[in-house]
Amino acid sequence: MLITRQPVFRKFWHAVMPLSMLEGGLPKPFRLLGEDIVLFLDAEGQPAALKDRCCHRTARLSKGRCVNGALECGYHGWTYNAGGRVIRIPQYDAERAIPAEYCTPAYRCVAKYGYAWVALEEPIAPIPEVPEFGAPGWRTIYQFYERWATSPIRALENSFDNSHFSFVHRATFGVAAQPKPSKYELVERKNGDGSIGFQAETLIDATNPPAFHRVSGSTDPITQRHMRNAYYLPFSRRLDIEYPSGVRHIIINCFTPIDDGQLQLVQWLFRNDTEADCPEQMLIDFDHVITREDKDILESTDPDALVDIRRRGVEYSMDSDRPGMLIRKQLLELLSAHGETEQHRGNQPPTA
């Protein structure tokens, strides 16, 4: 699937940028679904998103600066409010009216969980609920914000794939002698508010060398992970690990689509222990090694992932690919509900 050619994805919220990146008074560019946008904080400190193109001579607004909660173009100083209207042309006398058509498209943008979320069109589903955020007994740790050369579908199927641990993660938590995957219990979720996805529960064995003891809260050489994971259509997931020690390690991922070959990995973590039990940096370092292992193999895959499995002979599957097949089924149902079919390159390899 070529993500940017499926307009329905414009109708979802996407986690685009940590709010902390916008606090320095400079606008920041982002490419979302192939569309160049610029983010900045308005006078109330709320994030705003505009098309990254000045309506005067098309300069990128992200090269400008923020002035009193408005965005000033770096070329001639035309200044935009959060709604995309030009509210100041410094070359005009102050009393001269500015035509209403002097504007650039504005997108829906809200702050949630410490990020700016953007929907390019009227959203058809809410931002996923994350009850641990700000709740007593939980700490929030922002882990990764980085670009990966792969597609959200590849990252999603990987995140529910129990068959790769013994290979991709054999240097970390994978048990090399146990390539047979544990089975997932899958329960589809279709809420009236448009929130669609599934819950996926399983138990896996994980190696637990001394370097991981504080992460797992256990000194056993092999520990167990009780996983209660969830998929949120289209590109988010929750990885909820409970160790026998009672320690919970809950990762939220948004695989935000940049274009047809790249995603922005947005990853944060909740823990129910304390800094004294396991320091934040240790948790970042632990998950950093594991995500490097996934990134390396995923960047070798074709980002034009097969979604409509009626296209025969493109990719073959095995039993443990069931979560990935359910993701495909839900994506296909979404497309068909919006009058779309999967857009793809066919069986051709990507051109360099």
Looking at residues 133 to 192 of the shown chain, list those that interact with ligand FES (rule: CB under 6 A). none
- Give which of Fe ion, ligand FES, none residue 190 binds (C-beta under 5 to 8 Å, depending on kind): none
| Candidate residues 40, 78, 80, 148; the one interacting with ligand FES per rule CB under 6 A | 78
Separation of alpha carbons 147 and 152, rounded Å: 11
Secondary structure element (H or E) that encloses residue 330, with its range = helix 322-337
Beta partners for residue 61, in sequence order: none
- Give which of Fe ion, ligand FES, none residue 41 binds (C-beta under 5 to 8 Å, depending on kind): none
Residue 75 interacts with ligand FES (CB under 6 A)?
yes
**Cβ distance to ligand FES smaller for residue 62 or 208:** 62
Does residue 264 contact residue 147 with C-beta atoms inside 8 Å?
yes
With contacts defined by CB under 5 A, name the span among 21-29, 186-194, 292-300, 304-312 that binds Fe ion: 292-300
**Cβ distance to ligand FES smaller for residue 62 or 223:** 62
Instruction: Tell the smallest beta-carbon distance from residue 109 to ligand FES (Å).
Output: 21
- Give which of ligand FES, Fe ion, none residue 18 binds (C-beta under 5 to 8 Å, depending on kind): none
With contacts defined by CB under 6 A, name the span among 49-57, 131-139, 228-236, 271-279 that binds ligand FES: 49-57
Q: Which residue has the tokens 């896996």?
A: 204
**Cβ distance to Fe ion smaller for residue 12 or 165:** 165
Does residue 231 contact residue 324 with C-beta atoms inside 8 Å?
no
Separation of alpha carbons 159 and 151, rounded Å: 13
**Cβ distance to ligand FES smaller for residue 60 or 322:** 60
Q: What is the CA radius of gyration of the chain?
A: 22
Residue 59 interacts with ligand FES (CB under 6 A)?
yes
- Give which of ligand FES, Fe ion, none residue 133 binds (C-beta under 5 to 8 Å, depending on kind): none
Residue 54 interacts with ligand FES (CB under 6 A)?
yes
Residue 76 interacts with ligand FES (CB under 6 A)?
yes
Instruction: Tell the smallest beta-carbon distance from residue 53 to ligand FES (Å).
Output: 9
**Cβ distance to Fe ion smaller for residue 260 or 294:** 294
Instruction: Tell the smallest beta-carbon distance from residue 3 to ligand FES (Å).
Output: 30
Separation of alpha carbons 244 and 263, rounded Å: 34
Q: What are the structure tokens assigned to 162, written together? A: 């129990």
Separation of alpha carbons 226 and 346, rounded Å: 39
- The tally of CA atoms less than 13 A away on the side-chain side of residue 111 is 15
Looking at residues 97 to 126 of the shown chain, list those that interact with ligand FES (rule: CB under 6 A). none
| Candidate residues 72, 294, 304, 342; the one interacting with Fe ion per rule CB under 5 A | 294
Instruction: Tell the smallest beta-carbon distance from residue 264 to Fe ion (Å).
Output: 18
Separation of alpha carbons 82 and 40, rounded Å: 8
Separation of alpha carbons 195 and 238, rounded Å: 14
Does residue 220 contact residue 232 with C-beta atoms inside 8 Å?
no
Does residue 343 contact residue 5 with C-beta atoms inside 8 Å?
yes
Ranges of beta strands (E only) in 130-235 are 139-148, 185-190, 196-207, 222-232
- Give which of ligand FES, Fe ion, none residue 294 binds (C-beta under 5 to 8 Å, depending on kind): Fe ion
Residue 157 interacts with Fe ion (CB under 5 A)?
no
Separation of alpha carbons 191 and 141, rounded Å: 29
Separation of alpha carbons 130 and 85, rounded Å: 34
- The tally of CA atoms less than 13 A away on the side-chain side of residue 100 is 0
Residues that bind ligand FES (CB under 6 A): 54, 56-57, 59, 73, 75-78
**Residues interacting with Fe ion, by CB under 5 A?**
294
